[in-house]
Amino acid sequence: MITLGLDIGSVAAKGVLLTPDHSYQMVVPTGWSPRDTGQQLIAELTRLARLELHDVDAIVATGYGRISVPNADKSVTEITCHAKGLTSLLPQVRTVIDIGGQDSKVIRLNESGRVIDFAMNDKCAAGTGRFLQVMAQVLDMDVSDLGEAEIPAETVSINSMCTVFAESEIIGHLAQGKSRGGLIAGLHQSVAKRVAGMAARIGVVGPVAFTGGVAKNSGIRRALEAELKAPLLTPYYCQFTGALGAALLARNL
Ligand code: ADP
């Protein structure tokens, strides 16, 4: 069977195409039109696998733009897709922490990989990738360089939770000559505290996995491990767990 999973996120759109002997993945910026981005991903993934659209047996879409994908046979919630994708990669995991562009979520799984509880923050940019993107801009950096640039020993605490106020706070610290590395460590700590607080509300049971685009940031990973006092497992394709879950669920259609 050949299936395709699309995770149309707020920042990045991810696609996974599964054939009987291969898996193909691709990520593109979501841009202003989730519909066009979904179609672009389908076209590019099928081209990559040297297939035509009619060769694909089923397509499942997830993510905030899931209802906009015209060729999808079904749309499924992100929680279900992330749980499915993650358990196929790391079946031993009991808690998943996913930090994406515009939301963060904590998912509790039982021994069979079924979702038993979850918590989600999609109301406020603090504790999400968007917060880090805004702060990286203030620091004149790319978000992908934050993890390597922090200096944990010089952590400058960021007290504002609101993204707009945190931005002003950073500008103030820079004016006082605080180090960029120390500020980045403070930002990572601020995101980690926020997400760990949400995780504590539903309870963290190990082993714990860390996924989403923000899981590529080694500084956030270290800060979260310190807050949770637990090691985090991160699959290599950490940004693709939702799309992978969608492609696996498409096999049931
Ligand atoms: P969504 O599904 O909401 O679009 P993703 O899970 O795709 O979110 O994550 C997007 C976020 O991941 C971005 O906001 C950015 O902060 C972060 N990100 C993406 N690539 C990297 C990278 N190479 N290093 C660090 N952070 C990254």
Write down the pLDDT at residue 68.
Answer: 87
Cα of 100 vs centre of ligand 1, distance in Å, is 6
pTM for this prediction: 0.94
**The CATH number of 3-78+241-252 is which of 3.30.420.40, 1.10.10.10, 3.40.50.1220, 1.10.357.20?**
3.30.420.40
Write down the pLDDT at residue 124.
Answer: 83
pLDDT tens by residue, the chain, 253 residues? 999 999 999 999 999 999 999 999 999 999 999 999 999 999 999 999 999 999 999 999 999 998 888 889 999 999 999 999 999 999 999 999 999 999 999 999 999 999 999 999 888 888 899 999 999 999 999 999 999 998 988 999 999 888 889 999 999 999 999 999 999 999 999 999 999 999 999 999 999 999 999 999 999 999 999 999 999 999 999 999 999 999 999 999 9
Cα of 75 vs centre of ligand 1, distance in Å, is 22
Domain 3-78+241-252 shares a fold with domain 91-234: yes
The residue nearest atom 12 of ligand 1, judged by CA position, is: 213
Residue-wise DSSP of the chain: --EEEEEE-SSEEEEEEE-SS-EEEEEEE--S-HHHHHHHHHHHHHHHTT--GGG--EEEEESTTGGG-TT-SEE--HHHHHHHHHHHH-TT-SEEEEE-SS-EEEEEE-TTS-EEEEEEE-S-STTSHHHHHHHHHHTT--GGGHHHH--GGG-------SHHHHHHHHHHHHHTT--HHHHHHHHHHHHHHHHHHHHHHH---SSEEEESGGGG-HHHHHHHHHHHTS-EE--TTGGGHHHHHHHHHHTT-
Write down the pLDDT at residue 27.
Answer: 97
Domain boundaries, the chain: 3-78+241-252, 91-234
Write down the pLDDT at residue 131.
Answer: 93
Write down the pLDDT at residue 163.
Answer: 87
Taking the CA of residue 7 as reference, the ligand 1 atom at the shortest distance is 2
Q: Domain 91-234 falls in which CATH fold?
A: Nucleotidyltransferase; domain 5 (3.30.420)
Write down the pLDDT at residue 126.
Answer: 84
Write down the pLDDT at residue 30.
Answer: 94
